[in-house]
Structure 1
Amino acid sequence: MMNENIEDINYKEVIEYSLEPLIVHSQLKIIYINKAAEVFFRASREEVIGQSPLVIFKDTSKPAITKRISGAYNKPAEIIEETVYRMDGTSVDVELYCHPIKIGNIKAIQTYVRDLTEKKQLEKIQGEINNKINELTATIVPLLGGIAVLPLSGAIDQDRATKLLQLVPENVKKHKVSKLIIDCSGIHKIDALVTDYLFRINNVLNLLGVQTIITGLRPQLAINVVELGINLEGIITFSSVMDALRFSGVEYTIK
């Protein structure tokens, strides 16, 4: 095994061949960019070197960036997200991290630029998927005589619970529901958040003149109700949807 002295490593080669754009600047003047930075900023290093690092930022961001740069000569700055401009005028969201370095006796700053375009696109797609899931979550199934079932399943977080509170009353009015059976048997975990929103939905529907029946309750729900101090008086519960339908005067024959 080779035992090379780490001091023999050519760090200029290390940053030159880095896949992430790297910029070195001192006294508000860019003195070096690597190949990845040339590709990212869509300009040759000859076009970039000598310019101020502030040129890539929006005017509204420049005062804060100037302050950030002045502090980075002494210690690494925190990672931030910013919108920057390439040399062709196109904008892109990036993550920036910079830290102090020394080039001989000159104090300088090395800045890493990470393109967030793909990350932002994935977040947007995931957000659209979550919105669609939330909408489907609040889909009610109309049955007979103004009776409908709202089957809940999977995990319910704050966003999904908020969407339920928003969309269920709208869907109830849309389908002219007078009695809604909320079935909780498919929920993975019934915690304080779920319990709170179930009873918020119940209260809103009561104000709309809709009777709510909750089915599929588990022992943990009763514990959470007590812990939250929620009054169960007036709330009808059954162990299954079938029991709730029988109570409502609807009989289904399973063939």
Structure 2
Amino acid sequence: MGLSSEEASRFAGLLKGQGDELIRRWTDSVTASLRGRLSHAELERQITELQRGFGAAFEAGATDLEGDASAELRGLLSDFSATRARQGFSANETAVSVFALKDAAFSLLEANDGTTLRDYLAFSGFVDQAALHTVTSYVRVREELIADQAEQLLELSTPVVKLWDGVVAVPLVGTLDSARAQVVMERLLQTLVDTGSPYAIIDITGVPAVDTQVAQHVLKTVVAARLMGAECIISGIRPQIAQTIVALGIEFGDIATKSSLADALKHVIKLNSARLKGR
């Protein structure tokens, strides 16, 4: 049920005429639900902005949250949700902060006639729409934050480091899936271009298990590096991994493999020295 123009006008008067008292009661109601995780001053600032947004919408003749008259209010609610999401509050705590407006408004009404009750019911429905809007906005922002954090973790978990002049290494830790393998390949190739290194070590010491899929990802990275003119050495071939590779029938062909990163580095330094002497 939406608001009528008359109802919107009456609530605009309430929000304007008793704004300070409404903000106080609204803030007090929300304070309890947040359990002291937000300062009173910051909470009051947020509530004041929302109160002004609701008031402006009603003064503009808003009868529901989707109309043009509510555009500014929707923006405020979205910003409010984004702020709460970044501050670590839950979607429930965010929505409750908006729902609390209903109790604060009801406490200021003289509910002694049918008109007042009908007004409040219509107003309550409008606030419900606003709370649902905050939940939708909150979920969208949280999904964006999670996606950004996942991307940052992916980048941090796939470093490419320069070990020696002409030698770079990719120490892999954890499971190597398709998305991560693509990042590894891109970062390795870019580093080969930036440093002009002819050798790269792919260290899988930190990879808990090697299956056919992981082996295929590693081999694709080696092939891509060779197309850039660099040779790859795979290190970290522990006994358990060696047995698994043999059991799976995985062939590394002419790719050099070493049991440790240190052995791989020694091998590459010899190759690099021989290459430099042969110039």
Query: When the two structures are superposed, what TM-score results if normalisation uses the length of structure 1?
Result: 0.53
Relative to structure 1, the CA distance from residue 56 to residue 156 in structure 2 (aligned partners, 3 Å threshold; closer, same or farther) is farther
Choose 207-216 or 229-238, whichever is displaced more. 229-238
Match for residue 64 of structure 1? none
Output the CA distance in 1 between the equivalents of 2:246 and 2:77: 51
- Tell me the C-alpha RMSD between the 2 structures: 4.9
Output the CA distance in 1 between the equivalents of 2:256 and 2:191: 21
Cα deviation digits, residues 93-119 of structure 1 (max 9, x gap): 779x9xxxxxx9xxxx86433343597
Cα deviation digits, residues 32-64 of structure 1 (max 9, x gap): 99x79997572138548861343169xxxxxxx
Question: How many residue pairs get matched?
Answer: 192
Output the CA distance in 1 between the equivalents of 2:223 and 2:183: 16
Relative to structure 1, the CA distance from residue 136 to residue 204 in structure 2 (aligned partners, 3 Å threshold; closer, same or farther) is same
Shift of 1:143: 1.1
Match for residue 175 of structure 1? 195
Match for residue 134 of structure 1? 155
Relative to structure 1, the CA distance from residue 27 to residue 46 in structure 2 (aligned partners, 3 Å threshold; closer, same or farther) is closer
2:171–2:203 Cα contact (<8 Å) kept: yes
Which has the bigger relative contact order, CA under 8 A and spacing at least 6?
A: 2
Shift of 1:202: 0.5
Match for residue 184 of structure 2? 164
Partner of 1:137: helix, strand, or coil? coil
Match for residue 101 of structure 2? none
Alignment gaps of 5+ in structure 1: 1-24, 58-83, 98-103
The one of 128, 141, 148 equivalent to 1:120 is 141
Shift of 1:198: 1.3
Match for residue 227 of structure 2? 207
Partner of 2:73: helix, strand, or coil? coil
Relative to structure 1, the CA distance from residue 201 to residue 221 in structure 2 (aligned partners, 3 Å threshold; closer, same or farther) is farther
Shift of 1:162: 1.9
Query: Equivalences for 1:22-61 in 2 at 5 Å?
Result: 25-26=1-2, 40=50, 42-44=53-55, 46-47=58-59, 51-55=63-67
Relative to structure 1, the CA distance from residue 155 to residue 230 in structure 2 (aligned partners, 3 Å threshold; closer, same or farther) is closer
1:151–1:182 Cα contact (<8 Å) kept: yes
The one of 183, 208, 215 equivalent to 1:195 is 215
Output the CA distance in 2 between the equivalents of 1:171 and 1:207: 14
The one of 62, 67, 92 equivalent to 2:78 is 92
1:190–1:221 Cα contact (<8 Å) kept: no
Cα deviation digits, residues 99-143 of structure 1 (max 9, x gap): xxxxx9xxxx86433343597278448616733751672322231
Relative to structure 1, the CA distance from residue 225 to residue 91 in structure 2 (aligned partners, 3 Å threshold; closer, same or farther) is farther
- Structure holding more helix per residue: 2
Match for residue 152 of structure 1? 172
Q: Percent identity?
A: 19
Output the CA distance in 2 between the equivalents of 1:226 and 1:39: 66
1:138–1:163 Cα contact (<8 Å) kept: no
- Structure holding more strand per residue: 1
Shift of 1:247: 3.2
Output the CA distance in 2 between the equivalents of 1:239 and 1:250: 17
- Equivalent residue letter for 1:43: F
Output the CA distance in 1 between the equivalents of 2:219 and 2:194: 21
Shift of 1:232: 2.1
Match for residue 18 of structure 1? none
- Equivalent residue letter for 1:92: S
Shift of 1:28: 10
Output the CA distance in 2 between the equivalents of 1:240 and 1:119: 45
1:195–1:221 Cα contact (<8 Å) kept: no
Match for residue 143 of structure 1? 164
Shift of 1:213: 0.8
